[in-house]
Amino acid sequence: MTVKKQPFRGTDDRRRVGTMIGILGAEYPDAHCMLNFSNAFQLLISTILAAQCTDVMVNRVTETLFQDYPSPQEFVDASPDDIEQAIYKTGFYRNKTKSIKKCCQALIDKHDGQVPSTMEELLALGGVGRKTANCVLGNAFAVPGIVVDTHVKRLAHRMGYTTESNPDKIERDLCEIVPKKEWTHFSHLLADHGRKYCAARKPLCDECPVEHLCPKILA
Ligand code: SF4
For residue 183, tell me if it sits in a domain: yes
CA 85 to chain centre: 25
The phi, psi pair for 178, rounded to 5°, reads -90, 130
Q: Is 125 in the pocket of ligand 1 (CB under 6 A)?
A: no
**Closest C-alpha to 31, from 193, 145, 148:** 193
Q: What's the domain range around 177?
A: 145-213
Atom of ligand 1 nearest to the CA of 203: 7
In this prediction the pTM is: 0.90
CATH of the domain at 67: 1.10.340.30
The confidence score (pLDDT) of residue 8 equals 54
Residues 181, 183, 184: CA angle, nearest 5 degrees: 105
Same domain, 103 and 47: yes
CATH of the domain at 182: 1.10.1670.10
Helices (H), 5-92: 11-27, 40-49, 55-68, 72-77, 80-87
For residue 24, tell me if it sits in a domain: no
Q: Is 194 in the pocket of ligand 1 (CB under 6 A)?
A: no
The confidence score (pLDDT) of residue 218 equals 87
Euclidean distance between CA atoms 141 and 43, whole angstroms:
11
The confidence score (pLDDT) of residue 127 equals 84
Same domain, 100 and 164: no
* Regions in the chain scoring below 70 on pLDDT: 1-11
